[in-house]
Structure 1
């Protein structure tokens, strides 16, 4: 009994099939022995508040199977434990498109809900399919179900689409009844794993009375005349910001996720955040991003007894950073506001793992063989294949390995009018 009490308990709330999928994935995780997943499935979305009420006092965190379920629960009332959800990802879209192709679905004439337009555009760019005939309806609010059904039915009735892709079982069931060909997007295993890890992290932080949840919002500083979704340089900077944040996040056991156009949210504990800010004396991330990416960022740190409170405090702190003079601001659980100046050194508490020596040799070999072209330090799979004398597939594995070791950054794919895999450039990082 004591062994069970020591495990982090996570309530899984959502439709039966998705709850079963999350629990099954959780059982196969390396950390399965340290957590317990409690199923709370429902047949209709209206049952979510009741299922959630039965978990009160029994779980350390709640994991919803999607953003809609999370929003419905938030709309119904307060959640007294940290909560998160399995996000809708581009990986789920790839899987649905692949299944659709096996059934003769034309990916160039479909309607898609829940996935943001930027992710759809990126996914279609990756597979070399135009998006002129693809219609997207993002998830704007808890009452999206009826709107999604009308969105798909109208387009199909007008002959603009041949099928619909949806994340919601309710929508899929109704469209099938109305004669609209439909495929349901479900989260891939990798996305579910990350969501379970996030829920476990939030649950562990919430259980320890002396450990508050800490959330950091890190945003690219505004640049005059830039920032739109079509700004290639801004998209590149956003990608580089994400990779720079991951370095510190891994060292502190944090989770990094996209929040809005140019902002990322880092979820961790107050203790971990304290270690990389020298006891909340200096701003985290700012100097690392400046050194890695060459741009300034604004950071807002929030502490709280719940994820919602910490998130609200972080948003308040970010607003102060955007309007104030300090590199970052901290708002604690009592509402106190503290300015944090940028550090001129990396905190000594953070221990960084050196890159693998073999990866360093490969990076150095590529730089040497680039010769006069080494100034740009940008390569792609074809270039690496030629320089190392390997097949393009092997070259792509080499580049991925360099990214994982922190010796290269993956840049946005280069758009092309030709069919096939788009060219993906990488910037080598010199030592």
Structure 2
């Protein structure tokens, strides 16, 4: 089935910023990025033109490149850049203050009034010399900008502040004090959220029905702790009050399904905003802290209410299988996002709900593993972009005991899912550690 839940986004910029954006995108499971790394010799307009037909939204990491392509290309899709008016500029000015001083600054890309505002907020009330580069055309002349900063340093000992990597590189070679202002991760998150909201796919899904299932983990063991039915009912009422408050925040509707299970209905737009893009579900921690037990959440997306409900049930099963106190999401294409909880908002695993490769299924069965457990392990291991492990490495990656890791590796070896490729010598006394290659990830 074609994945309609992912939105293709084009990322254009120098390698350092593209790599930083790549990391930030890990907390945006709706985006399917296409990266283009540029150099000083790249024809940025040609790169952008080639991407227009491939993606739904474009993100250009440097403002001067964004400004140039916007003036020279008639875009039919949303085009965004990462503004340098946030925490990135604060960080650079603070670093200059520590290393040099803020008495004389030479800058390009930035608005003079905004720089003055930040200087005031940094409690810099002394006189400042501010030299602002103003271009007469849409195409940036790197040589001209470098000369501008060089002249200001020679005449006024001005520290350069630039939003252009190549300018920073050339000034560094000339031993001119310079700060290349880059967006912080928080700046990037804000920019990517804006890009997401601008896409047609995202707007079309704004009113899509989201179905949620909530289950009390180990309900029987929770209820037996209380001496009377009255106490159990009071506990249930406290939980229901918390769920009602959470559902109200989602503008949703809560239904008590009886026993240990509840359901709620909301819309995708509200759910994504309130969870900050599936990164924040405080209900999990609140229940555990205030009531002393945990709950599992399953969230289902779908094209119909029935499909959303079915996917919510599949998602809840994933949460319970993972030990509870987490939330999993099953999307329209039956891909899974999770675990989502307040303590691991950057640790998404995104994987298909089931393995369809018959040979791999046969090997997984031989290794004594269910297909769903196998897919979760594959997602968790592949997220680290590493396929060679010792038992100790695997235990750390999967958050399991060393004994469990050794048992898993033994089963995988018998099922021909991994192969032993060598040994790692240890500095202290003891047997060398075997190194395994996880061939099933390939």
TM-score range, shorter chain: 0.3 to 0.5
| Structure 2 length-normalised TM | 0.43
TM-score (norm 1): 0.44
